[in-house]
Chains A and B, each alone.
Chain A
Amino acid sequence: MALTREQVHRIAHLARIEISDAEADRTLEQLNDIFALIAEMQAVDTSGVEPMAHAQDVAQRLRADQITEVDQLTRRTAFQLIAPQTEDGLYLVPKVIE
């Protein structure tokens, strides 16, 4: 199964990665090579096989309902020191339209 250039544009948009037509064409070729490699796996009959999401068959551990955070202002200052744009403790982004 081969991808189309439109599909490459669609997934690039879903992934929020800008991609030019020329890049899309180059990417298309590489992705098709990779999907050819993946195709071998798709041919295998796996009916009745339980999908394996985790390496260990363990249940989720639960945390006690406790507040563990202290010194919030210092922490926010440290976090926002490395942020691209902040004001009044808020992260700024180009205007969000709902």
Chain B
Amino acid sequence: MQQWEAVIGIETHAQLATQAKIFSGSPIAFGAEPNLQANAIDIALPGVLPVLNRAAVECAIRFGLAVGGKIAPRSVFARKNYFYPDLPKGYQISQYELPVVVGGSLLIPAGESDKEIRLTRAHLEEDAGKSLHEGAGQHFRGCSGIDLNRAGTPLLEIVSEPDMRSAIEAVAYAKALHALVRWIGICDGNMQEGSFRCDANVSVRPAGRQEFGTRREIKNLNSFRFLQQAIDYEIQWQIATLEDGGRIGQATVLFDPETGETRSMRSKEDAHDYRYFPDPDLLPLVIEESWIAEIRAQLPELPAAKRERLIADYGLPAYDAKVLTASLDIAKYFETAVTVAGAAHAKTCANWVMVDLAARLNREGREIGESPVSAQQLGSLIARIADGTLSTSLAREVFDALWTGQGASADEVIAARGLQQISDSTELEKLIDDVLSGSASLVAEFRSGKEKAFNALVGQTMKATRGKANPQRVSELLRRKLG
């Protein structure tokens, strides 16, 4: 039987985290009433002109630096001409021949090792508006409604080389890219709101052949799950078509999550002829070396470098390092906590961030940036575990109190509730004497050789201290007294 190989390239539109639009002073916040965030420029009144937003360019430079691409010293905005009601000017301002970022690459996990996915380019462009169709709670008597709030939102279109060979690799790439754009703060990554959307170019070829097959482009995949489903479906469909003796025609298709299938877009049936030419309303974008240097200096340590460092500096396992660098917020939280708790307790910090904190955040559907317990608070809590003040169970109680706002710091909660472990021997000895005198039968059992009775006596003592005693200490003292 014929073996097939899939070839996949991904184009990603990342909405840039600016305040205003790329060519106008309108806000880009999501969810406003229709057309309230569309000014004269966004609705393309006659005579209006674009002026480029500096922050959008900064985002592109950050990205270029983060993927090791080349920042073009001179790039050019071009007009992509086509008619569509959500495209108010009748053209989209984009970059064509001279994009702002050229090349670069991204590592994705592939089996045991990492695989490098090369990037072709990244360019700045504006988003279109939205067409709302009859049915979605709207009824415009056979019409579509046009909302231009999104028109002019800054996008970075990131184009990969066709370096992926399976849907799994494609998803790994999309996830790595998603994490990176959030890490460097250029995109909020909100896929439901469309801040991060992927188009997948998929083709198949007989295994071992050099030339690519004809590709079909799946548009607008706004979740990793859909990305995987759509590519899997498309690969199977293309293989089945070819094995049935059919041919693949170049096409733009949409993925239907309901049916799990892809279908051709009618609006794209027109032969594409976008008539690109340099936008005469915008001058060449010139990026000086000094500006790049300034941005490079502000760039956070990148995930791969940080991973290496967490392993080297704190002796963390590779798994922990990977989890703690899933986002810049997590990494920052962890590192702040470690600074407060002390580097020697990094593993304890890692465990708390990865287990206790993560579980609580997850349960309440919060991001780490919204954690009621700050990294400083957690760090000081861990310091109290480390110095023996708190047992693990007491620490959880303090954590809970901090989470619900019943104290400003671990020490404050400990003091207010008298939660310090009782390590003081005189006080403990007195308590133990009381327990022993009230548990004659257990003492007798222990002396007759039943080790289980000893554990019961430890438990009794802990209970008498309401958990505040240091269990090691209790055990030591009990042995001494009974021995």
Interface residues of A (CB under 8 A from B): 14, 16, 53-54, 56, 58-69, 72-73, 75-76, 79-80, 85, 87-98
Known: A65-B20, A73-B36, A76-B35. A91 touches B273 (CB 8 A): no
The contact string, 1 if C-beta is below 8 Å from chain A, for chain B 19-51, is: 110000111000011111111100101000001
How long is the Cα–Cα vector from A90 to B275 in the complex, in angstroms? 29
A73 cross-chain contacts in B, Cβ below 8 A:
36
Docked-complex contact B280 and A53, CB < 8 angstroms: yes
Please report whether the interface of chain A is mostly helix, strand, loop or mixed according to DSSP. Answer: loop
A76 cross-chain contacts in B, Cβ below 8 A:
35-36, 38
How long is the Cα–Cα vector from A96 to B190 in the complex, in angstroms? 26
How long is the Cα–Cα vector from A76 to B146 in the complex, in angstroms? 13
Docked-complex contact A62 and B146, CB < 8 angstroms: no
Q: How far is the CB of B255 from chain A (nearest CB, A)?
A: 12
Q: How far is the CB of A70 from chain B (nearest CB, A)?
A: 10
How long is the Cα–Cα vector from A14 to B286 in the complex, in angstroms? 33
Q: How many residues of B contact A (CB 8 A)?
A: 56
Docked-complex contact A63 and B51, CB < 8 angstroms: yes
How long is the Cα–Cα vector from A58 to B84 in the complex, in angstroms? 32
Known: A14-B273, A72-B36, A89-B33. A62 touches B52 (CB 8 A): yes
The contact string, 1 if C-beta is below 8 Å from chain A, for chain B 397-434, is: 00000000000000000000000000000000000000
B326 cross-chain contacts in A, Cβ below 8 A:
none
- B191 sits at the interface (CB 8 A): no
Please report whether the interface of chain B is mostly helix, strand, loop or mixed according to DSSP. Answer: loop
Count A-B contacts at CB 8 Å: 128
Q: Which of B18, B52, B132, B278 lies in contact with A90, CB distance below 8 A?
A: B132
Q: Which of A60, A62, A69 lies in contact with B26, CB distance below 8 A?
A: A69
Known: A59-B284, A67-B26. A95 touches B19 (CB 8 A): no
Q: How far is the CB of A11 from chain B (nearest CB, A)?
A: 9
- B285 sits at the interface (CB 8 A): yes
Max count, chain B CB within 10 A of own CB: residue among A16, A73, A87, A96: A96
B282 cross-chain contacts in A, Cβ below 8 A:
60
Known: A65-B18, A67-B27, A95-B143. A79 touches B283 (CB 8 A): no
Docked-complex contact A94 and B142, CB < 8 angstroms: yes
Docked-complex contact B25 and A67, CB < 8 angstroms: yes
Residue of chain A at shortest CB distance from B132: A90
Docked-complex contact A68 and B20, CB < 8 angstroms: yes
- B103 sits at the interface (CB 8 A): no
